[in-house]
Amino acid sequence: MTPVTIIITVVAYFLLLFTVSYLSGRKADNQGFFVGNRKSKWYVVAVATMGSFISGVTFVSVPGMVADKSFSYLQMVMGFIVGQFVIAFILIPLFYKMNLVSVYQYLEDRFGAKSYKTGAWFFFISKMLGASVRLFLVCLTLQLLVFAPLRLPFILNVVVTVFLVWLYTFRGGVKSIIWTDVLKTLCLVLSVVLCIYYISGRLELNFAGMLKSISDSDMSQVFFFDDINDKRYFFKQFLAGVFTMIATTGLDQDMMQRNLSCRNYKDSQKNMMVSIFCQFIINLLFLMLGVLLYQFAAKTGIAAKGDSLFPAVATSNFLPVVVGVLFIIGLFSSAYSAAGSALTALTTSFTIDILGADKKADKDEVLAGTRRKVHAGMAVLMGIVIFVFGLLNNSSVIDAVYVLASYTYGPILGLFSFGILTKQKVRDKYIPLVAVLSPILCYILQSNSESWFGGYKFSYELLIFNALFTFLGLCLLIKKQP
């Protein structure tokens, strides 16, 4: 694909994106920005939520992982379904009953101000780093395919990318995010289905032949029960999926803003049940595409694998240009939508949780002014983080950031679990210390697990231990009742 083709594709997509964003957010006030005025239709939110689970990293990583991990990721997705039930029938009714704008307001009501700020800051660090890394990977793709051939600097790439994200979210907030996520979901599903169709055609496979080719492949194994030390071991993946879904969706302001925009908790529950089962199907399509991509690469002599497989095959000369266009649309729709929702959630959390602007501002105009300044500040900070990643240009830094992001959800999960499962009061002022010590203990545990536990390697289930350490730490802070 030429840079001109990619630019035309991106411009066309953003024209459509801005049109949707403008129409949905033109009359949005503060409540519209933060929670969509709680008037969103549940089926619209369900479609939006389907796409919100898929980031730009997932778009290229899930197909590329089948060579090493087969279909083992589906074990984790099965855990996602169980975790989504917990969110829908325990957390959602609680949050609606308390009429929360930010989910971390629960911690203030349950424990106190220190706990509230701790949860908000852990979310802020995690979401800022995670969203910046995801957008950084898209900037790298843009630099490779567009900016470098045109001899334009990376800093300009970052400025343009972040500005576009800020532009389509600054007015409508959640109201805009929901409808742009609907657009993203449609683009994602269409992109994956048509890519499967075109690649199957080049492999001379009809629908039945494609299914047989995938099922006969060694890469299509789903369940792994043999070796507990294997990161693909079923119970590791499944339990990690349950708690990862609870922590990164149910206790994540970014994800919960959509669900809290429904009219009532029953509508929100409908949205969550529909979206999670559709997510299973979408992930299955990505894994099926991965098998076809490896088979096509082997046939045509393309040496790429892992994260570089899908981009290499989609933009190669062996397939029609439309496949590359579909890849670009799918990648950008997933990445920009995820960045937009993260920017909105960061703005909400920083404005409400950290600054407490909703309590200080006596007029909506004052709160709106604060919100707009924070929104611009979050965009600038995200751009700086992305540019720093570009200067480092080290994949190990990216890996470290993802590990840090996963660690930060453990204390949040532990805080909420203790608050919901017990009725004990704790010494609020010491909670930040517990929240910091828990990830440190997890790091020590992960670093020494092979020598301590006979070769056992921690995978995503480390999140559970992170939350457990926080829970136990809170038990030590219980106040004695008179």
Question: For residue range 389-416, what is the model confidence (pLDDT) as tens digits?
Answer: 878 765 545 555 556 666 888 899 899 9
Q: Are 481 and 426 in contact (CB under 8 A)?
A: no
End-to-end CA distance of the chain, in Å? 73
Residue 192 CA: distances (Å) to CA of 11, 185, 186, 368, 377: 21, 11, 10, 39, 35
Residues forming a β-bridge with 478: 426
CB count, 10 Å around CB of 308? 13
Q: Report which DSSP code applies to 229.
A: T
Q: Which helix (H) or strand (E) holds 95?
A: helix 92-97
* Res 432: pLDDT: 93
H runs (alpha helix) in 28-87 = 30-35, 42-52, 56-64, 66-69, 73-86
**What is the set of domains in the chain, with CATH numbers?**
3-393 (1.20.1730.10)
Confidence at residue 39, expressed as pLDDT on a 0 to 100 scale:
61
Largest Cα–Cα separation, the chain: 77
pLDDT at 30: 46
Residue 16, helix vs strand vs coil:
helix
Residue 40's beta-bridge partner residues?
Answer: 262
Residue 399 has what pLDDT? 54
Q: Considering the entire predicted model, what is its pTM?
A: 0.76
Nearest one of 404, 474, 475, 406 to 435, comparing CA atoms: 474
Contact by Cβ (8 Å): 49, 250 = no
What pLDDT is stored for residue 191 in this prediction?
81
- pLDDT score recorded for residue 431: 93
- The answer to whether residues 132 and 383 touch, using CB atoms and an 8 Å cutoff, is no
- Residue-level pLDDT, tens digit, the chain, 482 residues: 677 877 888 788 778 777 776 676 555 544 544 444 556 677 777 777 776 666 656 677 788 888 888 898 899 889 999 999 999 898 889 888 888 777 888 888 899 889 988 988 888 888 888 778 778 877 877 787 788 888 889 899 889 888 888 876 765 455 666 777 777 777 778 888 888 888 898 888 898 999 999 999 888 898 988 888 887 888 888 988 898 888 878 887 777 777 777 778 888 888 888 888 888 888 899 899 989 989 988 888 888 777 778 877 887 777 778 877 877 777 777 777 667 777 877 887 788 778 876 666 555 565 677 878 888 898 899 899 888 887 876 554 555 555 666 688 889 989 999 999 998 899 999 999 999 999 999 889 888 888 888 788 777 778 888 999 999 999 999 887 66
Q: Per residue in 132-147, pLDDT tens?
A: 877 887 787 778 778 8
In 10 A of CB 284, how many CB atoms? 16
**Alpha-carbon span 95 to 261, nearest angstrom:** 11
